[in-house]
Amino acid sequence: MTADWGILAYIVAIATTIVVMGAAFVVFWLILWGKIDLSQMLTESDMTKASLSRFQFLIFTFVVAGLFLLLSVEAGTFVNIPASVLSLLGISAGSYAVSKGIQANNTPENAALAAAKQAAAAKQQADIAKEHAEIAAAAAAKTGG
């Protein structure tokens, strides 16, 4: 019975490897033929500078995945990933997500909306100041001053 499960596990591992390698080959082929563009992978959306959060997330992910693969191959079985390493990956992913959130809020539409709100607030303050000046002028006219 154990030998049957061992053979089945071996067949599933080979099938999984073939599927993953096939997907990797398709992605590589699409990159090679220009269907997938990686030229802007590490730049911000305005394409003026590199994104540190994207670079950090990319490097941390590749280092952890590479070490996991290497240690698993050497051990002959999957190894446990320490919680501290997963925490670091989570922090890296979180910094990337926060940078994307900040980037999404820095759109020209949001800037125009903020400017419109500031203009409306300034107009409201000017109207209040005008009312106060009229009240002060009326009070000064009544007192004769």
40, pLDDT greater than 80: no
Instruction: Single out the residue of 61, 56, 23, 54 nearest to residue 38, CA to CA.
Output: 54
Q: How many CB atoms lie within 10 A of CB 53?
A: 20
Same domain, 57 and 102: yes
Same domain, 6 and 56: no
Same domain, 70 and 12: no
What is the per-residue pLDDT for 88? 87
Q: Which residue has the tokens 């999404």?
A: 104
Same domain, 10 and 51: no
pLDDT digits (tens, 9 = 90+) for 124-135: 887 887 887 788
Say how many domains are in the chain: 2
Same domain, 23 and 44: no
What is the per-residue pLDDT for 22? 93
Provide the residue range defining the domain that includes 138.
39-143
